[in-house]
Structures are given as C-alpha cells and as structure tokens.
Amino acid sequence: FPEMLPNPKLVLVQGTLNVVMKQNVTLSCLSEPGSPPVRYTLFKHNQQISALNRSDSTPALFTLTISSASDVGEYKCKAEYNNSSGGKYSNSLNFTFIEPISKPVLSSPTSQAKKGQNVTLSCFSENGSLPITYLFFKGKQNISPQKTMQKREAAVISLFIDSLSDFGTYKCKANNSFPNNTKYSNGFNFTLAEERSHSQPLIISLGLILLLLIIGFALAIPFFVIPLYKASE
C-alpha cells in the first residue's frame, strides 16, 4: 500500500508573480518523498484548470499564459494517488498584474525665484502600478534621495536658491516594478525674479513732489501772477 503523500510544494520556475499582459509563467508541483505514480492537479480559485500524471519522481510542470484579469489570483496544486480518495494541497501562489507608468510631470507652485528663496518641486505619474519610485535631477546630477510613493501622490522636494547656478534645468524620473519602464519628465526652469532697486521708491517720490509743484504753480497763475502783472501796467 503506498505511503501517505506529503503536502506538495508549488514553485514558480519561470516568470514572476508580478505579471504583464500575455506573459508566460511555469509552475512546478511536487510531493516529495512520494511513491509514484502521482496525479497532480492545478487549481485557480479552487477551479481545476489542468492535471498531469507522473510515473516517476519528477515534478509536474504547468505552463500558463496570463492573458486577462481572470488569470491572476491564487493558484494551488493537489497531489493524490490514482484511484484514491483525498489528496494533499500545496501552498498558494498569487499573481498580480503590473501596469507601466506614464510620463511623470514636474511642476512647482512658482516659476520665478530669487536668490535666498526656498522653492518646491513635485513629480507625479498619473498611471502605473504602485509603488512608484521618483528621483530628481538638475542637469545630469541627482539632487535628492529617491522617494518611493506607496500611494497615488506626488513626490515633493524643497530647494534653496543660493546662486545663479541654481537656475538650471530640473527633471525627474519615475519607475516601478514593470520591467524596462523608466520614464523621464519634462524639463523645468526657474526664472530670476526682478528685484526692485532701493532707490526706485525715492525717485518715484521726488517725481511726484515735482509734479505736484508744477500743478500747484499752474493753478496759482490765475490768482497771483496775472493780478500782479495787471497791477504793474
């Protein structure tokens, strides 16, 4: 009489648990030690999708194509002797879809800055599987540690504008677990805000005083200058 089968092990031997559309994956199911022949059945959400008989101690290999949302979720396998009741179930493996990220957008609440000012930059990809990792650059040099966002929200950094060299072109990049899918943002430049000279308010005040004197003199002509002129005739 065959010995009791131990619980089989379900192992991913090709592909990843984070899958993209039309991806092939291969699962291995083996109950070891066990006396062959053994029948292995693969289940998805408790629904049988494939079965293989093994007359030796090699694992049963199940190759799947993840082609729709219904193909992701929990998989298990069952090992049993032929013509016997019961059987043992394996551990479960869960597949999830991953979505490529969209091109991130780099922005700031202000486009103008002056030396000595604090500013912020935000980087955001609207689409893509979480988490998403962001990295900020000025030119080709990264200017902050990478920020990994677990929620659908922008990564934000603060900058101190210390010199004219801080007015270069800024960019950010984003990536997630989707393979070979790093995306770079648009370029963003701060423009130098014009600083008013300290002498400008004084010049404006003197100009207004002079203008008022001219207007006052013009108004005084009919009352003082003309009567004096007539009196001298």
Structural domains in the chain, sorted by start: 9-97 (2.60.40.10), 105-192 (2.60.40.10)
Residue 120's SS3 state is strand
In this model, does residue 133 exceed pLDDT 70?
yes
Q: What does the pLDDT average to over 92-111?
A: 94
d(CA 136, CA 157): 8
Query: Quick one: residue 51, left, alpha or beta (phi over 0 = left, psi -120 to 50 = alpha)?
Result: beta
* pLDDT band at 1; cut points 50, 70, 90: very low
Distances (CA, A) of 219 to 114, 214, 222, 225, 229: 46, 9, 7, 10, 16
Q: Residue written as tokens 């700031």?
A: 108
Query: 191 versus 76: which is more confidently predicted?
Result: 76
Q: What does the pLDDT average to over 37-48?
A: 93
Q: Is the model's pTM score more than 0.85?
A: no
Mean pLDDT, the chain, rounded, equals 88
**Helix intervals (H) in the chain:** 199-220, 226-231
Distances (CA, A) of 18 to 12, 23, 176: 12, 10, 11
d(CA 99, CA 122): 22
d(CA 164, CA 160): 11
pLDDT digits (tens, 9 = 90+) for 137-171: 999 899 999 999 999 999 999 999 988 888 889 99
Closest CA to 158 of 177, 125, 134, 136: 136
